[in-house]
């Protein structure tokens, strides 16, 4: 089976190489001018700045929902967590059941508003677990996709998709 994969991969690489070679001989070489390169770099930088500004606004808007609060999340998988947000861009999750893939920790997060009062929060935990969570403040529904290193799994990663609900409480001081 491995030999078959190796042969298929080699054939694909050879086919790609011959296509590229044919394209090189049949097409004119296109080299961007210095002005085109400079314009592309300026556009990329402008987009990066606009994206960063939008990201900061979204973090601030999200933080208004969670500042001074504890989000108590209960997933249908049995995982349960309390999540606190001590400052903009930082969350602290604490498992409230025996189910957890790692110990509690502070995490830096990125957030995007994907709908009115609906946010996608993403973070990478110290142990390498990647979490992408969507939280809806209108319906109190929450979804999360978690993935972690696991030898022998597809891409050497294992994953779980959670569906659940959450409640909001004043944070313990």
For residue 101, the model assigns a pLDDT of 58
In a domain, 5, yes or no: no
C-alpha pair distances (Å), 81 with each of 56, 68, 92, 134, 142: 26, 16, 10, 15, 12
Give a yes or no: residue 83 inside a domain: yes
Please list, residue by residue across 129-151, b when 16 or more beta carbons sit within 10 angstroms of its beta carbon and e when fewer do: bebebbbbbeeeebebebbbeee
Write phi, then psi, for 96 (nearest 5 degrees): -110, 5
Please report the pLDDT score of residue 125 as a whole number: 87
The whole-number pLDDT of residue 58 equals: 87
- In this predicted structure, what is the pLDDT of residue 65? 84
Cα–Cα distance, 134 to 141 (Å, whole number): 8
How confident is the model at residue 48, as a pLDDT?
Answer: 63
CATH of the domain at 135: 2.40.128.20
Does residue 14 belong to any structural domain of this protein?
no
Query: CB 79: neighbour CB atoms within 10 A?
Result: 20
Q: Report how far residue 166's alpha carbon sits from residue 137's, in angstroms, rounded to the nearest whole number.
A: 9
Let me know: does 143 contact 134? Beta carbons within 8 Å: yes
Q: Is residue 12 part of a domain?
A: no
Instruction: Count how many domains the chain has.
Output: 1
Phi, psi at residue 123, to the nearest 5°? -150, 160
C-alpha to C-alpha distance for 170 and 173, rounded to whole angstroms: 9
Residue 121 lies in a domain: yes
* Residue 25 located in a structural domain: no
Q: How far apart are CA 140 and CA 136, in angstroms?
A: 5
The list of the chain residues with pLDDT below 70 reads 1-29, 46-50, 98-103, 172-173
**pLDDT score, position 97:** 77
Per the listing, tokens 């590229």 go with: 20
Give residue 108's domain range: 63-170
pLDDT of residue 173: 52
């Amino acid at each position: 089976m491995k030999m078959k994969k190796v042969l298929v991969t080699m054939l694909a690489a050879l086919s790609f190489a011959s296509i590229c070679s044919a394209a090189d001989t049949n097409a004119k070489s296109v080299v961007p001018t210095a002005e085109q390169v400079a314009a592309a770099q300026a556009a990329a930088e402008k987009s990066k700045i606009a994206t960063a500004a939008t990201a900061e606004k979204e973090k601030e808007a999200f933080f208004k929902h969670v500042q001074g609060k504890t989000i108590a999340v209960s997933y249908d998988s049995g995982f349960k967590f309390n999540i606190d947000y001590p400052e903009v861009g930082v969350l602290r999750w604490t498992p409230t059941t025996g189910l957890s893939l790692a110990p509690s920790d502070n995490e830096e997060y990125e957030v995007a508003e994907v709908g009115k009062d609906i946010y996608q929060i993403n973070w990478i935990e110290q142990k390498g677990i990647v979490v992408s969570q969507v939280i809806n403040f209108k319906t109190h529904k929450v979804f999360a996709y978690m993935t972690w290193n696991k030898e022998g799994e597809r891409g050497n990663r294992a994953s779980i998709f959670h569906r659940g609900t959450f409640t909001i409480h004043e944070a313990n001081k």
